[in-house]
Amino acid sequence: MPAAASAAQDRARPRARTAHGVVEGRNGPGGIAVFRGIPYAAPPVGARRFAAPVPPEPWDGVRDAGAYGPTAPKVPYPDPFAALLSDPEIPGDDCLNLNVWTPAPEGGESSGARLPVMVWIHGGALTRGSSAVPVYDGSAFARDGVVLVSVNYRLGVLGYGLFPDAPANRGLLDQIAALTWVRENIEAFGGDPGRVTVFGESAGAISIGALLAAPRAAGLFHRAVLQSGPPEVLARERVRAMARRMASLLKVPATAEAFAATALPDLLAAQAAVLRRSSPLVGGPAFGLVADPDTLPVDPLEAAAGTAVPLLLGWTAEEHRLWLAPTGGMRLLDRLGPLAVTLGRIRSGKDRGSVRALRAERPGAGPADLAGHLLTDRLLRDPLRALAGAPGRDAPSFVYEFAWPSGVPGLGSCHALELGFVFDTLAVPEASWLAGPDAPQGLAEEMHAAWVRFAVDGDPGWEPWNGGGPPKVFGGPGSVEPGLVTPRVLP
């Protein structure tokens, strides 16, 4: 056993007193403490399956917080994506739980640390993912003086199915409950409830856009990071169609009451069947956030643009390649040639001038890349640019692009590739599934440090965006040491 690991085990296990009881975590390397699987809400089972979250029951004695808690019920990724994206499944009902990494294991009362806090909201199209993904290990943040919290929330039909007899946006309500727990308990872990930064990627970033607009989330965080996900809501009918399609397969009414009476494995099987018909690029029915007078009464993009919350936001240079390359979609679109570009232009609502500008910007891009860029600009980058450059914003917006290409042939600078760099977890085996071997550690240190600086003082290290000009580029040509960038191989 390495000496550092042995020394960590020799220390007394850290404890913290929360509002619901005492938890006992584990010692990590470098003097940090880790608490996993702490419940922030009661298990969403039985009558609570489609209800708003409620606080957990208090417990007597000391609750063990040494292992990740149950993950939210979900269906696996399809095989092409399961080979690239780690998604552990941990059984159990108590899935509304969170984890804390802290460099102040003695807690706030005894240490007076009041360190900055970052709360991670994972992605996964609101249907997959969890806080137990190894790439999301928070040790590097704690090492660098940040209390890192990661949360689970209800997914798919349980979190985002739209029913006439249940509250909408239940996954968002779960996230608000977790942030409320942070406000009430994080001092016991050495954190400052007045310096909370929320950050998330893909569906996690979409969630943060909604949190910026949700009245119930007001005051629960003070800075926000949106990685590859814009503030948005879906049409209610588009989301309602998912429950109706599931109901048709299950032969039950499309109500929360009927779905709550259905066995969970049957619900998940029906969910898997309807998910096969949706796509992040071409649309169709989907689980997602909806406008709702109780939870999300205003348009998230307009509301987020009007907030005084400092923002760090950005994208990867080739988001679409994660969605298209693993399934052969890139090859198919390239075979369609100019037709693919035309379809992408029409679907994205772009004009011919946009296509000409894109060709000039990317002279070597084939039809699949051009179509993919048009669609992701419309769905993702354009809303984020609008948010960053919104007139009259009273707080700065810092914009970035992650441009390092994966060592996995065909992926390029794809969606989700930056995660191992942000968390500085390239050494975790699962990080190589997406990044490939020999990803540049120096780039991870640069990007991770920027996120830490933003949490500490609101300045990641470059000038705020003024609505024009290029973003800060991580991993583009000349931005990392020679020889560290793996050439992109087209499929």
Provide the residue type at 12 as one letter.
A
Contact partners, residue 66, CB within 8 Å, separation at least 6: 24, 25, 26, 36
The CA distance from 190 to 14, in Å, is 12
The CA distance from 429 to 75, in Å, is 23
The CA distance from 441 to 429, in Å, is 14
The CA distance from 316 to 473, in Å, is 9
Largest CA distance in the chain: 67
Q: In what order do the strands lie in the sheet with 97-102?
A: 26-27, 33-39, 97-102, 147-151, 115-121, 191-201, 223-227, 311-316, 397-402, 472-474
Collapsed DSSP state (helix, strand, coil) of residue 201 = strand
Q: How buried is residue 352: exposed, middle or buried, by Cβ count under 10 Å (0-12/13-18/19+)?
A: exposed
In angstroms, the Cα distances linking 414 to 27, 192, 196, 297 are 35, 35, 29, 33
The CA distance from 364 to 360, in Å, is 9
Contact partners, residue 364, CB within 8 Å, separation at least 6: none
In angstroms, the Cα distances linking 34 to 95, 141, 196, 245, 448 are 18, 12, 18, 42, 19
In angstroms, the Cα distances linking 317 to 84, 252, 369, 413 are 18, 44, 11, 5
Kindly list the catalytic residues.
Answer: 202, 319, 415
Tokens of 175: 């996230």
Q: Work out the angle at residue 427's Cα, subtended by the Cα atoms of residues 36 and 128, and round it to the nearest 5 degrees.
A: 50
3-state helix, strand, coil in the chain (%, to 5): 40, 15, 45
The CA distance from 162 to 2, in Å, is 51
The CA distance from 409 to 406, in Å, is 7
